[in-house]
Chains A and B, each alone.
Chain A
Amino acid sequence: MTDIFELLKGKPEDSDYENKGVIVQGITGSYGSIHAKQMISYGTNVVAGVTPGKGGQKFEETVPIYNTMQEAVDATNAKISIIFVPAKFFLAAAKDALNSGIKLLVAIPEHVPIRDTMEALDLAKQKDAVIIGPNTPGLMIPELIKIGIMPPMPFKAGKIAVLSKSGTLLYEISDALTNAGFGQSITIGIGGDPVNGTRLIDAFEMVKDISDLEGLVIVGEIGGDSEEMLAQQIIDSGFNKPAVAYIAGRAAPKEKRMGHAGAIVMGTYGSAESKVSMFNKANIPVAKRPAEVPVLLAGKMEK
């Protein structure tokens, strides 16, 4: 299993420990440039940008821009990249990154065709790389590194891991956690697509052995069965730290896509009831409202 913390922070003996370089693909686009700036101001070490045809220029007068990922990786030795290109160009950008030695790829675009995601995942598997997303807000270690589009305010360094399919609910629930005194050791946006580069169970494997982890918060939604798989994994692995879940979409009609491409109940596949009952089986309380998450977590900790 990938050691996500080693990818994000490195090893203490590394010269760039806790300062790992990140390449931004699509850095000159309107969306990419806003968020590249935001990441830099959060403290993320953005070492290069890639925009075909704009090689040789500089972003914000400091970050060098390259035409291809290979050039950017050769120049910086970075292992992390974040993609901001339009969905129809995602696959080409992902291949460019993975073939150039990127080991952690954060895929922001929404509306990527499933077949393209599956092809990118196939390549990632061959290259022993991890894809987070697509259609994800990204991931962060609060107060250290942010690779994504999250606003900084809701997050605070701490010892709770938050895994979420939704972006705004990740902010909302992290905000509630922070206000209740629960900082976060890491937050990972899984993404709202039907096929996720990193599924909830994969993200769980990344965080479950954090030595000082004090709790786990899972923010799921209707569609698919990744929450059910995670609940089963938690049962099977004997994970015994306090865990709380929230599931959005209980009131959604069946067979309608609720904003996210993945948020759709087909028959009983993907229903909120199915997810809630599996979490109950795993002895994980499911909050009725986002604000209830920290309350349930505190309750679990007292036991």
Chain B
Amino acid sequence: MQLLEFQAKELFREYGISLLDSISSTNIEEGRKHAKQLGYPFVIKIQVPVGGRGKAGGIQKCQNDDEFDIKYPQVMDLEIKGEKARAILLEKMADIKKELYLSIFLNRSKRCYTIIASAEGGVEIESVKNQIIKEIGLGDVSEEIANEVAKEMGLEGITAQGVADTLKKLSKLTIEKEAELVEINPLAIMQDDTVMALDGKFVTDDNANFRHDELQKYQEKTEIEEQAEKSGFSLVELDGDIAVVGNGAGLVMSTLDMLSDNGGKPACFLDVGGGATTESVYEALTLISKLDRVKGILVNLYGGIVKTTVVAEAFLKAYENNLIDIPVFSRLKGTESEKAKEMLQGSRTNIFDTVEEAINAAVMGVKK
């Protein structure tokens, strides 16, 4: 899960990383109170779990009450990369000398944590120049490494000290919370040469959630996502009209790709997992029936240990209970697929031999 900026900053504060004063709110009345508390000028920042907020107009300077009344709702109503505002953060304006970049991430191919630092921050990581990259194993950043990084960034005096100190705190946070990525961009050098984190990004290892009850309050799931998780599915909501269901993350991704190649628009990615059962597929169909935008369902199952007849049973049950009234385009391959096809003959499920045929029919079908 990717935390929102204000949530990441809560953790930064807990670990003693210097921050500007800021307060988060979810409506304008609450926001007005905070504006008084904080005092102008400040910055209004949309809280969404994706990057590119500045470019999309999600970060606005605000000088007085009149501006506040216009800009707060504007920012609140933005949708960035399909994500609506989860909250608004008001943060004091900073008078800064320079923007730096600092992050610790889990280097997947090197299988260790890695520091990336640069004296030229404030832009997206892909555009950050003169990156200093240091692999740091599984453990903490030592005093020595922290000082070395600050020196390589060309910093001196209390700024160098501040960066080294921030880096050590950042690594403690990363390791203790088992994060995949913690980023401060920008880390600003203030007029008095101290440093402060102006933004924060924090990505957790969700598989370690069971060891981190303290992070659970940050979970922001839709009702459907929550139900999917309970059933042991992986579900990602998308904005198209054809629900894509299959077993195995790779197979469902592959189906999504082929559907998009053929002009279809996926409404969701739903992986029922390797061990599909009649119950789990029925549960998946129940979830999809709750998504209003769905006009058709594309099913791509490769039955291995799982029998496709088990899947066919789920469909028959769904029709019997009037759960589904939209067309289903399905490719069932593997164990007992001939029998499954027979079972579904004459039902709402259109069965195809290849996934390509099922996709073409689905794309045509939802256009009607």
Which of A's residues lie within 8 Å of B, judged by CB? Answer: 31, 34-35, 38, 87-88, 111-115, 118-119, 121-122, 137, 149-151, 153-154, 164-172, 175, 192, 194-195, 199, 219, 221-226, 229, 246, 248-263, 266-268, 288-291
Closest to B258 in A: A289
Q: Is B271 an interface residue, CB under 8 A from the partner?
A: yes
Q: Contacts A153-B334, A258-B249, A258-B269 given: A172-B302 contact, CB under 8 Å?
A: yes
Whether the pair B305, A151 counts as a contact (CB closer than 8 A) is: yes
CB distance from B258 to the nearest CB of A (A): 6
Whether the pair B250, A192 counts as a contact (CB closer than 8 A) is: yes
Whether the pair B354, A194 counts as a contact (CB closer than 8 A) is: no
Whether the pair B251, A166 counts as a contact (CB closer than 8 A) is: yes
Residue from B181, B211, B253 in contact with A249 in the complex, judged by beta carbons closer than 8 Å: B253
- Complex CA gap A266/B333 in Å reads 33
Whether the pair B271, A267 counts as a contact (CB closer than 8 A) is: no
- Complex CA gap A291/B236 in Å reads 25
CB distance from B196 to the nearest CB of A (A): 24
CB distance from A225 to the nearest CB of B (A): 6
Identify which of residues 183-221 in chain B touch chain A, using a CB-to-CB cut-off of 8 Å.
203, 205-208, 210-211
A-B contact pairs, 13 of them (CB 8 A): A31-B275, A121-B111, A151-B303, A166-B250, A168-B250, A172-B302, A175-B333, A225-B109, A252-B269, A259-B234, A260-B249, A261-B205, A288-B258
- Complex CA gap A176/B283 in Å reads 30
Q: Is B130 an interface residue, CB under 8 A from the partner?
A: no
Closest to A194 in B: B108
Which of B's residues lie within 8 Å of A, judged by CB? Answer: 2, 49-51, 81-82, 106, 108-109, 111-112, 124-126, 138, 178, 180-181, 203, 205-208, 210-211, 234, 236, 238, 246-254, 256-261, 266, 269, 271, 274-275, 302-305, 333-335, 354-356
Name the residue in A194, A199, A251, A260 with the highest tally of chain B Cβ atoms < 10 Å from its Cβ: A251
Whether the pair A169, B251 counts as a contact (CB closer than 8 A) is: yes
Q: Within 8 Å CB of B112, what residues of A?
A: 118
Q: Within 8 Å CB of A137, what residues of B?
A: 274
CB distance from B310 to the nearest CB of A (A): 14
Whether the pair B250, A255 counts as a contact (CB closer than 8 A) is: no
Q: Within 8 Å CB of A261, what residues of B?
A: 205-207
- Complex CA gap A28/B43 in Å reads 59
Q: Within 8 Å CB of B106, what residues of A?
A: 114, 194-195
- Complex CA gap A289/B257 in Å reads 8
Whether the pair A251, B138 counts as a contact (CB closer than 8 A) is: no
Whether the pair A167, B260 counts as a contact (CB closer than 8 A) is: no
- Complex CA gap A1/B142 in Å reads 33
Whether the pair B251, A268 counts as a contact (CB closer than 8 A) is: no
Whether the pair A122, B138 counts as a contact (CB closer than 8 A) is: yes
- Complex CA gap A258/B244 in Å reads 12
Starting from the known contacts A168-B274, A169-B248, A252-B236, 18 additional A-B residue pairs (CB-CB under 8 Å) come to A112-B207, A113-B205, A118-B111, A149-B274, A165-B250, A166-B248, A168-B248, A168-B250, A170-B250, A172-B251, A219-B250, A221-B250, A222-B253, A224-B108, A224-B109, A248-B257, A253-B82, A255-B51
- Complex CA gap A88/B207 in Å reads 9
Whether the pair A290, B305 counts as a contact (CB closer than 8 A) is: no
Q: Within 8 Å CB of A257, what residues of B?
A: 206, 234, 236
Whether the pair A262, B108 counts as a contact (CB closer than 8 A) is: yes
Closest to B50 in A: A255
Q: Within 8 Å CB of A262, what residues of B?
A: 108
For the complex of A and B, list the 8 residue pairs with the smallest distance between their C-beta atoms, beginning with the closest. A166-B250, A259-B249, A168-B248, A151-B304, A113-B208, A169-B250, A251-B260, A168-B251
Whether the pair A38, B208 counts as a contact (CB closer than 8 A) is: no
Q: Within 8 Å CB of B256, what residues of A?
A: 249, 251-252
Q: Within 8 Å CB of A267, what residues of B?
A: 51, 124-126
Q: Contacts A115-B138, A225-B109 given: A259-B207 contact, CB under 8 Å?
A: no
Closest to A251 in B: B260
Closest to A228 in B: B109
Q: Within 8 Å CB of B335, what residues of A?
A: 151, 153
CB distance from A45 to the nearest CB of B (A): 20
Q: Within 8 Å CB of A118, what residues of B?
A: 111-112, 138
Closest to A247 in B: B257
- Complex CA gap A112/B206 in Å reads 9
Q: Contacts A226-B109, A259-B271 given: A291-B250 contact, CB under 8 Å?
A: no
- Complex CA gap A101/B265 in Å reads 51
Q: Within 8 Å CB of B266, what residues of A?
A: 251
Q: Within 8 Å CB of A171, what residues of B?
A: 302, 304, 334
Q: Within 8 Å CB of B355, what residues of A?
A: 289, 291
Q: Within 8 Å CB of B51, what residues of A?
A: 255, 267
Whether the pair A255, B2 counts as a contact (CB closer than 8 A) is: yes
